[in-house]
A and B are shown apart, each in its own frame.
Chain A
Amino acid sequence: MNPTTAILEVRDLVKEYPGVRAVDGIGFSVAEGSCFGLLGPNGAGKTTTVEIMEGVIPASSGAVLYRGAPIGRRFREEAGIQFQSTALQDFLTVAETLDLFRKLYGRVDSIDEVVGLCSLGELLDRDTRKLSGGQRQRLLLGIALINRPALVFLDEPTTGLDPQARRNFWQLVEGIKAQNTTVVLTTHYMEEAYILCDAIAIMDHGKIIAEGSPQALLAEHFDDVVLELPDADWPRDLGGFEYQVLREGQNVEISTADVNAALIALNAAGVPMQRLRIRPRNLEDLFIELTGKELRA
């Protein structure tokens, strides 16, 4: 594998709707064999971008190249897609549904590999309408992988899943990555992006505002750590404290690059530290820092 080879390139992509420029001249490339995450708040333009990359909607201008050529027949044969929400044909079992999609591609003999990879063995005879949320997502992933794709798009695949099902899904994606399949992932879960993605791009207002590996982006934007204390432990009448204190839900947070000095200051102020936590900056901090805290439509 040559990790620097781009399997997918997006060049000067623009998508305009009446009165709205949903995607505003973005460009990036996805390295073969990598997991690329596209992140952004609601309405940032990431679903539009992904759907153009998937060949589902046309761009107003710009280009998407798969292995150097405009997306076309070869892309359709070699790409797998898991949409955010997909209806399936009614009255079919899991096995029949997988077989239906297998036959739409010309190069796969059996569904066995996908059944094993996505742990669908015990569900093969079940009506697809009677699957749980996690089982259904595993089936949709199986459909996306049925053609042994070189590139697979996962559009918010774990939205609505419980924590166990979400972690189970992450293991499946790790299995896909291990097979050198390129993954393009959109998600609202920053932890998910951090664990699975080799590179991410953060979109806002139709533009890419940050791009790189999660670790590199964190290093680039932050040189501090966060001290977290339960709000209940914070003294009400603490005046003249030299650090800026932010309230986040049930906690207060203090950001500092010098942990020792901050701990001494807290100790001097008489703040109880039995429930103090020190954590490094994470992708969620970066996301909020870059896109702001205001609620998006």
Chain B
Amino acid sequence: MIRRMLAILHARNLEFVRDRASFGWNIMLPILLVVGMGLIFSGPPRPLFKAGVLQDSTEIDLDSHPFLGTRYVQFVGLTDETESVDKLSRHRIDLLFDPARNRYWVNTDSPKGYVLERLLLQVDPRLEKATVSAEQIRYIDWLLPGILGMNMMFSCLFGVGYVVVRYRKNGFLKRLQATPLRAIEFIGAQVVSRLMLILAVSIFVFVGTNYFIHFRMEGSYLALLLVAALGAICMISLGLLVAARATSEEFAGGVLNMITWPMMLLSGVWFSMEGANPIMRQAAQLLPLTHVLEAARAIMLDGAGLADISRTLLILGVMTAVFILGGTWLFRWRLE
């Protein structure tokens, strides 16, 4: 039994080592993971809460109030009260503290805000609780676009990437190459096919979730549909770009994982990037999901119109064009 197992083990290892793309990728992935996690998680332990501190400059004097010495709370310097309260109401910070005037604001719908308020009052019970003038948004209203966007991202990237690699491996693409079909036509058909599925699923989840939760929708459904469609096309195109030359599912899967991880962490699916390292915030701007979520939240939570999100739409449009043209240029019908 052992001999047969070893024979299979040896053959599989040879296959793995000789598949240069997969092997190379499996060497690169740990290196990239180490570098990526080093960048994201290096330095002091990750804070659990994010508190805005109102003052004259963005530099925070940590000695100005004992609360500012609390560990595991990230303090973000803010200067504009109205803007800061708005960030609080949109869950971009958990609590807003004005040490000069001994008062604070908290979003009553924020679980983290509740805990942070208790901490703050334990340090300084004399503080005055100010009224949040902006309408407070429930955490689920802020979170829902992120969850829908994340689901869309996985479906877009993995749904098309694996299919194209399988078609290439089994020779179906080679058969299509022998017809008048052009690469751009094939890619276009894949985009539309996956788009129809994703929009149907997303609309179903949106409507179904709304039936139970009744989440906030300030803007136009049509604008939201446009953002969802453009975002989906952009991410499908990214999946096709990855699959344009890949010859093994292992390689394609590795690259797709490497793309989805940063989007999960940096695009604002679960938490806001407010106060994060500027390099990380810049990096987030390179990710399509960041723009999809920004635009979706602006429409759903703030009632933004198309004009308000035109810059985001333009960025998504440019990214889509780059991915599709790159994918078409790199596209190979057959195994080399």
A residues bordering B, Cβ < 8 Å?
Answer: 54-57, 73, 76-77, 79, 81, 83, 85-89, 101, 104-106, 143, 147
Contacts and interface: CB of A to CB of B under 8 A. Distances in A.
B178 interface: yes
B179 interface: yes
B170 A104 contact: no
B74 interface: no
Contact of A83 (B174, B181, B333): B174
Nearest to B181: A104
A73 B334 CA distance: 19
A55 B178 contact: yes
Interface in B177-200: 177-181
A162 B333 CA distance: 32
A105 B179 contact: yes
A88 B170 CA distance: 9
A57 B177 CA distance: 10
A101 B181 CA distance: 10
A87 B180 contact: no
Given A76-B180, A104-B180, A88 B172 contact: yes
Contacts, number: 43
Contacts of B167: 87
A77 B180 contact: yes
Interface in B139-174: 167, 170-172, 174
Interface of B: 167, 170-172, 174-181, 333-334
A86 B174 contact: yes
Nearest to B172: A87
B174 A56 contact: yes
Contacts of B179: 76, 101, 104-105, 147
A54 B176 CA distance: 12
B178 A76 contact: yes
A87 B178 contact: no
26 contacts: A54-B178, A55-B178, A56-B174, A57-B334, A73-B180, A76-B178, A77-B180, A79-B178, A81-B178, A83-B171, A83-B174, A83-B178, A85-B171, A86-B171, A86-B172, A87-B167, A87-B170, A87-B172, A87-B175, A88-B172, A101-B179, A104-B179, A104-B180, A104-B181, A105-B180, A147-B179
B171 A56 contact: no
Contacts of A101: 179
What are the 6 closest A-B residue pairs judged by CB atoms, nearest first?
Answer: A87-B170, A81-B178, A104-B179, A76-B180, A87-B172, A86-B175
